[in-house]
Amino acid sequence: ELPFAFGVSPLRPVRVAPLLPSIQLPLMLEWSRTSSYDFVVVRRLWYLRFRLVLSFPALSFVDSVFVLRCCDPSARAKQNFDWSKMKFLGVPDWIILVATALVLLYLYAARHRNYWKDQNVIQEEFSLIFAAVRRMMFKPFHQMDQDRYRKFGKLFGVYEGTKPVLFVADPELVKRVLVKDFPSLPNRRAFTFNDSLLDNMMSILPVERWRRIRPAASPAFSTGKLRKMNSLIADCARKTAEHLKMTAEKEEELLDIKQFYGNYALDVIARCAFATRLDSHTQETNEFVTKARQAFSGKITLPLILLFLFPGVFKLLKLKAFNTDVFLYFKDLCLKIIEGRKEKKSRQEDFLQLMMDAQDGSITTTVETAQSTEEKLFNLDSEIKMDTSFLGGVKALTEDEAMAQCVLFFLAGQDTTSSVISYTAYLLALHPEIQAKLREEADECFKQHGPDPSLDVVSKLKYLHGVVSESLRMYPPAVRIERAALSDYVLGDTGIKVPKGCVVAVPIYSMHHDPEYFPDPATFDPNRFSDENIDSIRPYTYLPFGAGPRNCIGMRFALEAVKLSLLHSVHCVEFVRTKNTKVPLEFVTGFGVLNAKNITIGIRKRTA
């Protein structure tokens, strides 16, 4: 074996012809000066060129060419040369090895860095770590998408971590991604939370498991079930309105309206999912309430960044993105309630009972035909009423699967509902003329139908529908929808190749604020959704709850809870703008639901 050394010299440059034409490596060679001898002149030497053999076939495009200047053993012995003291630019060998490994790792991770460019798709400049992490740490998620949308248009590619992501905002392509080509794009982004509960939530499950669990949960949101839950939700809405009146009488400013309506959402979820009666406004120390508020910190953390950008590293390190003790608490709570019901042989009309039946495999499911204006708006058209055979039959769920859906109901229902009500109340405070018109409709509703209007009555309140729909346009709960390819896929007539597992993203927030789709998008105008204007909204440009088979399963439940709360609230008090009201709102960084830093408005007693 020939001894060799790495060195650099400004005196003797050697340019290396690469084995592949893409990279050239200029190298300077020199023997190091040491304390035991002067500059060594090696008389007999040669250059050994070799390719580094890699274990990653995907790196075949890299010119990993090294030049070694070697001396033969006789020359080395003659000069009494100490090879252990050889260094490269005075840097120890182990640092060189680590640096080399990092470079190779980067090249492997960046192997897709020109994936979209090679297909003539406009792309954002590739950044593996620094720019990507900086954006996530310091810029709200919806603002990242909005900046890209304004810069690149309605069809472009980006890179999130090591993976290419395709953004689609053209309505016809959106329809294809979410509905027409659902068999090719049935999955959502793959997440592994390293938690038995979170990893079984149907919102993130691959299609093979999702199609088994979705039919088990769907009956909870049927029209019949929602009618039964209407009185429960209305009772929570009345209590919340009473607390608003007490706040108004004290002339106190409501500093955190999202937390206030978060209490309402907790009460609704506790009643409808767990048959538990709460008043979170007064029971601040109740364990259910305190645990619920611990579920998410609302802050972007390193584990969350790794989960989003480098899910493989997150899984390998077995990190936790959230406080899993909270989820274990709710699982234990559910199991205790189930045990009590089995002992007493009692049944309740709630989501937990539905999951109990799902564990026994005793659920039947039906497909409802939606005809209302509300369904037309959110479901868009009859094309998504496709053959439901892809769902398969209803099979028994495991304990973790059943409990995971209860946790999902709690998380998604609580956060989405409180956010939508808070943003709507904020917008009403900024637009008193719209609030006054909504109050007139609420007063007339209670006058005609009494203190507990039915689900059918509330769903037909047209101005309330317009107010909530416009609020969802301006502040959609989820700022983007994502679908992942089940196998290699070509997007319609574009010819763009989407590889297996690649995410196709629909930037909901950006589309909702595109003046081409919604003129003067910064203006709060409920009349956009009036009967006269509803047909002017282009299909697949308004997507607050998604579309297609994997749209939000709890959409109608959330809308019912939002509308009942607003109906009772504006009937009792006035929302007003104060000197502390932020215009525009400021949002926290990170991803998930659209999350404002704080929503501060004033509460006053009704003047009329």
| Structure token pair of residue 33 | 């000066």
The 3-state DSSP class for residue 253 equals strand
| Structure token pair of residue 567 | 């109906």
The 3-state DSSP class for residue 143 equals helix
Phi-psi map region of 497: left, alpha, beta (phi>0 left; psi -120 to 50 alpha): beta
Task: Judge contact between 255 and 243, C-beta under 8 A.
Answer: no
Give the CA angle between residues 339, 344, 346 to the nearest 5°: 95
Other C-beta atoms lying within 10 Å of the C-beta of residue 164: 22
Task: Judge contact between 112 and 163, C-beta under 8 A.
Answer: yes
Burial class of 596 by CB neighbour count within 10 A (0 to 12, 13 to 18, 19+): buried
Task: Judge contact between 274 and 331, C-beta under 8 A.
Answer: no
CA contacts within 13 A on the Cβ side of 166: 29
CA distance 352 to 402: 8
| Structure token pair of residue 523 | 């203006």
552 in a labelled binding site: yes
CA distance 99 to 222: 59
Q: At what angle do helices 432-449 and 555-572 cross, to 10 degrees?
A: 100
| Nearest CA among 471, 483, 458 for reference residue 544 | 471
| Structure token pair of residue 317 | 């390190």
CA distance 271 to 353: 12
DSSP 45-57: EEEEEEEPP-S-G
Q: How close are the terminal C-alpha atoms of the chain, in Å?
A: 97
CA distance 590 to 300: 5
The 3-state DSSP class for residue 576 equals strand
8-state DSSP, 505? E
The phi, psi pair for 386, rounded to 5°, reads -80, 175
Helix (H) or strand (E) holding 375: helix 373-379
Task: Judge contact between 112 and 162, C-beta under 8 A.
Answer: yes
8-state DSSP, 531? T
CA distance 364 to 283: 38
Residue whose structure tokens are 């709360």:
565
CA distance 524 to 473: 9
Other C-beta atoms lying within 10 Å of the C-beta of residue 487: 11
| Alpha-carbon torsion angle 337, 342, 343, 345, nearest 10 | 120
Residue ranges for the binding site? Answer: 552
Residue ranges for the binding site for heme? Answer: 552
